Amino acid sequence: MAHVLVAHGPNLQRLGSREPEIYGTATLADIESALRARASDSLEISFEQTDDEATLIGLLHHAVDNQSHVILNPAAFTHYSYALRDACALVTGAGLTLIEVHLSNPHAREEFRHQSVISAVATGVIAGFGADSYVLALDQIISLQGGPSHGNNERH
């Protein structure tokens, strides 16, 4: 069965109370339960949040070793972490899917958010749909696996 790591970067444990006018009121726990419901029995899914760049990079290395697809909200690291970018490149270079997600649409915000150093090495990017950005990313991974009822463990 395919495995998906959902990794959240810095400050995202504050979702729910952090700038709700920008990020909405869903908490990380709400996002986790929506994704668990969507994954049902078709995927194994795990969740991590860290404010620490090195820890996030370690999680991506583990995803490569574990052959795990990744849904990543790199948060502020999006805009400047070349180290995180290189770790993301390891994931996609291993033939795994890595979807960069954002709750907000960074392109509609401050100029420093317009650049992502991650996007060029991601499989794809979903931004601007609040907590649904994560659900859309998971739907895409499920679809790449051959759909919800497809129990093929040879395709990753």
Considering only 68, 73, 123, 145, the residue that binds ligand DQA (CB under 6 A) is 73
Shortest CB 111 distance to ligand DQA, Å: 11
Q: Which of 78, 81, 97, 145 binds ligand DQA (CB under 6 A)?
A: 78
The nearer residue to ligand DQA, 104 or 140, going by C-beta atoms, is 104
Instruction: Check 3, 62, 80, 102 and give the catalytic one.
Output: 102
CB 99 within 8 A of CB 71: yes
Catalytic-residue membership of 23 = yes
Number of residues located near ligand DQA, criterion CB under 6 A:
10
CA–CA gap between residue 71 and residue 82 (Å, rounded): 18
- How many Å apart are CA 49 and CA 94, to the nearest integer? 23
CB of 130 to ligand DQA, least distance (A): 9
Q: Is there binding between residue 103 and ligand DQA (CB under 6 A)?
A: yes
- State how far the alpha carbon of 34 is from the alpha carbons of 26, 106, 107, in Å: 10, 23, 26
Report residue 66 as tokens: 């574990």
Should residue 76 be labelled a site residue for ligand DQA when binding is judged by CB under 6 A?
yes
**C-beta closer to ligand DQA: residue 50 or 106:** 106
Write the DSSP string, 69-99: EEEEE-GGGGGT-HHHHHHHHHHHHTT--EE
The correct pick among 38, 69, 85, 102 for binding ligand DQA (CB under 6 A) is: 102
134 is catalytic: no
43 phi/psi in degrees, rounded to 5: -145, 150
* Catalytic center residues: 23, 102
